[in-house]
Amino acid sequence: MSSGDGQQSQALTKPTFSEVQASALVESVFGLKVSKIQPLPSYDDQNFHVCISRTKDTTDGPSEYVLKISNSESSKTPDLIDVQSHIIIFLRAAGFPTASMCRTKGDNITSLMSVDSGSEIKSYLVRLLTYLPGRPIAEIPMSPQLLYEIGRVAAKLDKTLEKFHHPKLSSLHRENFIWNLKNVPLLEKYLYALGQNRNREIVEQVVQLFKDEVMTKLSHFRESPQTFCLELFYSCLKYNLLNFL
């Protein structure tokens, strides 16, 4: 897989809403008046940090949100998005400092928006979550204690999710999902991004060790049905690390 192929695939599915369009979406779908909106980092979805204007109906509610517009491919699997959203709700109820889901004016968790791109009609699932301030992990000095705390929280997250149930839970089982730990060898397709340096050599060694030492013993490990766990935890690390630890 070349870098051009990956960028082209991402460009075809990633939403391209302007700030004006995103603001109008928040107001029309969720009934909130936007006072400020700006893009947040994202990979193949589109995220916005949204600040709302206070009204008599929103005086006691949050004033900052994250608008998440799922890419067009993920939007074709609403069951998967629904399970992910209910996992967030479940974890919050279990005491994790996750975001709250904001319901639409129709009292739904998600809304499917259709957009005419000129050549075709594309549909995107949109969600609105409360904003959790924090610092990206890249800005925090790494230490053994920090790594320990990350592992502790990941273990607690996994253990808690053993109790999660949903009728569409099977939608999380995606064989070639890059965030599934047993798919570590899939990372080989992206080694080009590291160039030719020591970091690439280290990653290659780790992947090879995984093939030799882990894949041969996969049948002895408990397979967790919560494959979304790693993806969710990674997002928490990127945006809300200090709230989690």
Domain boundaries, the chain: 16-130, 137-244
What is the tens place of the pLDDT at every residue in 146-174?
889 888 888 888 888 888 888 988 887 77
Find the mean pLDDT for residues 196-219.
90
Q: Is the pLDDT assigned to residue 5 strictly greater than 70? A: no
Query: In the structure, what pLDDT confidence band is assigned to residue 179 with cuts at 50, 70 and 90?
Result: confident
**pLDDT at site 209:** 93
The Cα 207–Cα 111 span in angstroms is 39
What are the residues whose beta carbons fall under 8 Å from the beta carbon of 26, sequence distance 6 or more?
Answer: 32, 34, 37, 50, 52, 65, 67, 128
Strand ranges (DSSP E) for the chain?
Answer: 34-40, 46-52, 64-69, 101-102, 111-116, 121-130
What is the tens place of the pLDDT at every residue in 84-122?
899 889 999 999 888 899 999 999 999 999 887 777 888
**pLDDT at site 199:** 87
Answer whether CATH 3.30.365.10 is correct for domain 16-130.
no
The Cα 171–Cα 158 span in angstroms is 18
Selected residue with higher pLDDT from 139 and 51: 51
4 burial via Cβ count (<10 Å: 0-12, 13-18, 19+)? exposed
> For residue 70, how many other CB atoms are within 10 A of its CB?
26
Q: Is the pLDDT assigned to residue 60 strictly greater than 90? A: no
Q: Is the pLDDT assigned to residue 190 strictly greater than 70? A: yes
Q: Is the pLDDT assigned to residue 230 strictly greater than 60? A: no
Q: Comparing 71-85, 188-202, 221-235, which segment has the lowest mean pLDDT?
A: 221-235
Over the Cα atoms of the chain, what is R_g?
Answer: 19
Please tell me whether residue 135 adopts helix, strand or coil conformation: coil
What are the residues whose beta carbons fall under 8 Å from the beta carbon of 52, sequence distance 6 or more?
Answer: 26, 32, 33, 34, 35, 58, 63, 64, 65
Q: Is the pLDDT assigned to residue 241 strictly greater than 50? A: no
**pLDDT at site 65:** 95
**pLDDT at site 56:** 66
The Cα 79–Cα 87 span in angstroms is 12
127 in Cβ contact with 85 (< 8 Å): yes
**pLDDT at site 9:** 52
What is the tens place of the pLDDT at every residue in 8-52?
455 458 898 999 999 999 999 999 999 999 999 888 899 999 999
